[in-house]
Structures are given as structure tokens and as C-alpha cells.
Amino acid sequence: MPFYTKLGKLPPKRHIQFRRPDGALYSEEVFGTEGFVGPTSTLYHIHPPTQVIGWKPLYGTEVEYVERDVMRMRHSKSMQLPSKGDPVTGRTVLFGNSDVEIGVCAPAEKMKYHFKNAQGDECIFIHFGSGTVFTSFGTLKFRARDYIIIPKGVTYRIEFDEPKGDEPDPRFLLIEVANGSHILPPPRYISKQTSQFLEHAPYCERDLRTPELPLTFDKKGEYEVRIKSRNLVHSYIYKYHPLDVVGWDGCYYPYIFNIDDFSPIVGKHHMPPPIHQTFEAHNFVICSFCPRLLDFHPQAIVVPYNHSNLDSDEVLYYVQGNYKARKGIEVGSLSLHPQGIPHGPHPGTVEASIGAKETNELAVMCDTFRPLYPTKAALDIDDLNYPRSWEEEHFPVSIASGANGTASGHANGHSNGRSNGKPTKKSKSPSTKKPARAGKTANTWD
Ligand SMILES: [Fe+2]
């Protein structure tokens, strides 16, 4: 993170004697990035973090991509993937390249070990569930719609709460850095002089939840830490609890940002995707499409124009929305719109959206600057009709209006198409001068 913080006990200066109650020295560890010229934190352990009593390779994690030479629209229905494994072993990568891996996880078991991803930062977007992440920097309580940013090298264990009543089972989206860069807020949000979030940024320090107590677990025994490095998960055994830090300070630590705390920027005319940007790493960005008021020019078209994002592949993960007026897209869907072919609103959805005043849907987008490839797991849940869903034969021009007055107007959504296999009757186009119906909404993701 760009700003300095601290937790627990610290000596008054770096690199001086700092003693445990029994008189022995605490073990100082400098946790540095980019050859110690990037963000860094300094931690004080009860035990030397170097003391391991055993290690062995466990399993490989190299992702195998398929159809690397095929460029087409894709749509994967990730809710079809059953719960499996724990919050680490249950992960399924769906799309990726040499910069980033995008996957989902619906864990069925608890983690009985701690985990350290020593090859990439992780952005865990909690779709369903709540719980606690215990980390070497302290404890983070999480809830649905939290982005949990866990930088490379942080030891942690995720513990989900048991779902209550009819709450859905835990499920999260995972965006993992594969190129060694770090997930950070866009530099344009940050003051060059003070690293403070600037006034135009859609979120700021108050929206970020940093680690809290408890921090220190002073226990002896045999503790496993699984370390992912070089696309191999290793099992390391320590003779003390791995979360034995009594204090730390610096600018490198895990934290949480809830997507509902993103303050959308709205405009007179359609605002481009960068206004939704939340994080970035080298060669990809993460954006939050949140409920917001729509463009307020009296003749505004509130859905995106057709667009060729010439240097990006675009993945949208659909979190929440009214999909009754759409065909195909569901909660938990991932759509992939590749560079090389334009995308835009489905037939009928531009007219249908006119007059809408707000959007109530929620999505996470990951745009990559190099082509993404699917995995076999993505093909297994592939919606093969999606690439042709812009054809008028499949989706004749109609005014698509959901039961709640929701217009289906997103580039990635589907208009009301057929009823019983026949084209729906074309409705009268609304006049641009006609006042909008109260409560009319539209889907406007780019
Ligand atoms: Fe787009």
C-alpha cells in the first residue's frame, strides 16, 4: 500500500536491540520488494523466521491453457463449478496469461495449514461468505464483496464462517499476479508528495481496512506452511506457530477494500471504463462497476457505445444484478471480450435503455493488455451461444424491459430475445423527450 502503518510492539529505531521478556532478542525481518527499493515492511518475530525442520514438494500449479490461437467471445458460468478443496486447493483458474491468472474458488473444507504465495500478489474478491484471514501482519475480518489484497510473501490462513440459514456457500473470485509486479491503487489516485489519496479518487484511506489484533500466536509444535513458488506448492514444517510477529511497520501489508465503498464517478455523457478503475498491476487493471446514477444529458445514451479496446482483453465477473431480461448471463458468469473484435450493446438494448436513470448491478472487471487464454475448466462451463448473441436473428430488435422496469442494455448482456422460439413483437420506441419512468434502470457495463 502507498501509506505507512504499524501494529503491535516496535523498538524506537530500526536495527537495534529489541528483546523478548525472557531477555532474548526478537528476530527482525525486513520484508522488501523490488530489491529493497519498493514498498517494504519490517517485522519482529519471537523466533527466527529462518528455522525450518522439514520441506518437500507437494503439487504443481502450472496452468495449462487451451485454444491459445482461437480469438472469440467467451462466457463461462462459474456457478456450475462445484465446491471442492479448501480456499487454496479448491481454486480453479479459468483464464490467464503470463501476467495474470483469473479463477474462482468455492471451498468445501477448512485450511489445516498456513499458506504463502511466494510468486504473486493475490486479489481475492469475496462473492459469498464471511470470515477471518489470519496473517503474519495481523487479523482481517472479511465479508461479502470485500477485495482482500494479499501481497506476495504474506503467510496467511483463511477461515470462512459457517453459512447461516439460507446464506449461500462461500465463493470467491481470485485474480493472481503472474508477472512479479504488485497490485496497487492507480498512481493517478495518489499524491506524488505525500502518497495520500487525492480528492478525485473514488476511494481513500478511510475505506481501507488494515490488519488488526490479534497478531501474535506464541505456540510451539509442528506447523505446516505451504509455500507456492516456481509453480510448485512446497510443504515446509516449522516448530512454532508461523504467525509469531509481535510488531511490524511499513508500507507492505495485506488489506481489505469493500466494493460497496467505491464511490462511482458519474457524468453528463457515458463515462469510460478507467473511471471504474480500482487497482492495477503490470499489464492488467481491476475495475469495479457499481450501482450509480446514469448520464444526465437529456438525450444521453446510457449504455456503452460499440467499442474496440484494441490493446486489452476484457473479463467481467458478474456479482449481482437483475438478469431476468437477459439470456445466458447469470450471477457468477465470466464474459471474455477479446481484443481483435469490437463489442457493444445487444440488439434492442440501446433503445431500451433510453431514459434509465440508474444502474443497480455490480461487477468486477479485469482488463489485460495481452491476450487471455482459457483453461480446459473454462471450456467445460462454456456458453457456446454467446459469441453469436449479437446476431439479430438470435436477438431481434425489441424493447427489452424486465419485470421491474430494468432495461437490458449491457454490452455483455442479452436483450429479451425470443418467446417460445419466436421473435418477440417489436415495441414502440420511446421518445427521447419522454420523461423516464420512475425507477427505470439499465445495465451499463463496458
Ligand atoms: Fe468493453
pLDDT mean by block of 10 residues, the chain; 446 residues? 93 98 98 93 97 94 97 96 97 98 98 98 98 98 98 98 95 98 97 95 98 97 97 97 98 98 96 96 98 95 92 96 65 96 88 91 96 98 92 53 33 30 33 45 67
By the 8 A CB rule, do 388 and 395 touch? no
By the 8 A CB rule, do 287 and 259 touch? no
* 272 C-alpha to ligand 1 centroid (Å): 9
Question: Hey, what's the torsion of the CAs at 31, 34, 38, 44, to 10 degrees?
Answer: 10
**Spatial CB neighbours of 256, under 8 Å, sequence gap ≥ 6:** 140, 142, 146, 147, 148, 149, 208, 209
* 148 C-alpha to ligand 1 centroid (Å): 25
pLDDT score recorded for residue 323:
55
* 444 C-alpha to ligand 1 centroid (Å): 10
CA distances from 23 to 17, 18, 84 (A): 10, 9, 47
pLDDT score recorded for residue 327:
58
SS3 at position 440: coil
* 314 C-alpha to ligand 1 centroid (Å): 6
SS3 at position 76: strand
SS3 at position 290: coil
* 334 C-alpha to ligand 1 centroid (Å): 13
By the 8 A CB rule, do 109 and 86 touch? yes
Q: What gap in Å lies between CA 192 and CA 71, rounded to an integer?
A: 40
* 341 C-alpha to ligand 1 centroid (Å): 11
**E-assigned strands of 358-417?**
358-359, 362-368, 373-374, 406-407
* 162 C-alpha to ligand 1 centroid (Å): 37
Of 406, 435, 412, nearest to 363 by C-alpha is: 412
* 252 C-alpha to ligand 1 centroid (Å): 32
Of 319, 439, 336, 446, nearest to 386 by C-alpha is: 336
By the 8 A CB rule, do 101 and 283 touch? no
Instruction: Read off the amino acid at residue 144.
Output: A
Specify which residues 155 forms β-bridges with: 116
Instruction: Read off the amino acid at residue 291.
Output: P
* 97 C-alpha to ligand 1 centroid (Å): 19
Instruction: Read off the amino acid at residue 36.
Output: F
Q: What gap in Å lies between CA 278 and CA 272, rounded to an integer?
A: 14
H or E element, residue 314: strand 313-320
Q: What gap in Å lies between CA 213 and CA 355, rounded to an integer?
A: 49
Q: What gap in Å lies between CA 253 and CA 227, rounded to an integer?
A: 18
Q: What gap in Å lies between CA 392 and CA 216, rounded to an integer?
A: 61
**E-assigned strands of 106-251?**
114-117, 122-128, 131-135, 138-142, 146-150, 155-160, 171-177, 208-209, 220-229, 232-240, 245-250
In the DSSP assignment, the letter for residue 273 is: G
* 309 C-alpha to ligand 1 centroid (Å): 7
* 313 C-alpha to ligand 1 centroid (Å): 9
